[in-house]
Amino acid sequence: MLNPIPTVIFFTLHILLIQSQTHTSNHSRCPPFRCDQIDFPFPFSDQRTFGSGTIDCGFPGYQILCDEEEEEESTPVPILMISTQPYQVKNIFLNQFYDEGVVNLITLVNTDLIRDINTDSCHSFRNFTSPSSGLLLPDWNINLTFFKCPSQFAPPQDFLDQTALNYTCNDEQSRLYLGRYVIVNSSQMNPTKRSFNNSITPRDCNLVMLPVSSADINVSSVNNGDIERSQLGKVLAAGFPLQWKSDADCENCIKKKERCGFDRTKVVCLCDDGCYNTNSSK
């Protein structure tokens, strides 16, 4: 008769090994993610590891690409993709108090737009589309209004009187005009047809709405047509905010000093003992 003791010892060691691996795996999951001195909390996560396991460290649509520059000793640049357009993350502000309650803000910069303005290009001038992930433009958001018209377009004088500046695009047959007014909370406006100081967008022109930070633009300068292209570049370089509200289940995880994860359907708490709780509210 075979001695059962070695078999028992083998299975005991096997179970302990699995538990140890599970502990290491879960305990090492979802550490604080940092890029360019910015700490990204849940629901943001590293794009390089998203989707590589059964549990992710953030929600879909919140992935940050920590882009390493080609130059040696350069600072990595955090990038958030929105509708195939890369946006550089400038900063994050947590637990900000506004009329709508406590929200979090992330400031984004479209560096392609800045490059276009400096090189007389219009390639990146297109309407900003809010992501479906839950990142929203704040109600107090300010938008600049541009009109992208064919180069052969002969603008009437009343149209020119309502523009602050314009330039010819060197990469396509068009000309770009900046409207002499800003729009607040454009998300509640009809994007297909907006008024332009009691007129409508010229038939052959495309209306382009770009969000900017209300703290970094002199609205009266735009309204008076007293703004230069260099100033416009600085306004765009300041970026614009998007807001999101903290997830209640993740907040419960944090209260228990546990990390937040996402199992493709719901938020889970990653426990210190190697497990994870699917019911994070308890």
Strands 63-67, 45-46: pairing is: parallel
pTM here?
0.79
> Do you know the residue count of the chain?
282
231-257: pLDDT as tens digits = 888 889 999 999 998 999 999 999 988
pLDDT at 69: 58
Tell the residue number behind the tokens 């090994």, with chain if given.
17
Write the CB contacts of 217 (distance below 8 Å, at least 6 apart in sequence): 142, 144, 182, 235, 238
What is the signed CA dihedral for 49, 26, 75, 47, rounded to 10 degrees?
A: 20
151-168: pLDDT as tens digits = 899 998 988 888 888 889
The DSSP code for 68 is P
Backbone angles phi, psi at 99, to 5 degrees: -60, -35
Per-position DSSP letters for 180-236, written without gaps between them? EEEEE-GGGS-TT--BSSSSB--TT-EEEEEEE-GGG--HHHHHTT---HHHHHHHH
* Mean pLDDT, 10 residues at a time, the chain of 282 residues: 49 43 52 88 92 89 81 78 91 84 91 90 85 83 90 89 88 87 56 48 88 79 74 89 92 91 92 63 48
What is the torsional sign of CA 85, 89, 94, 96? negative
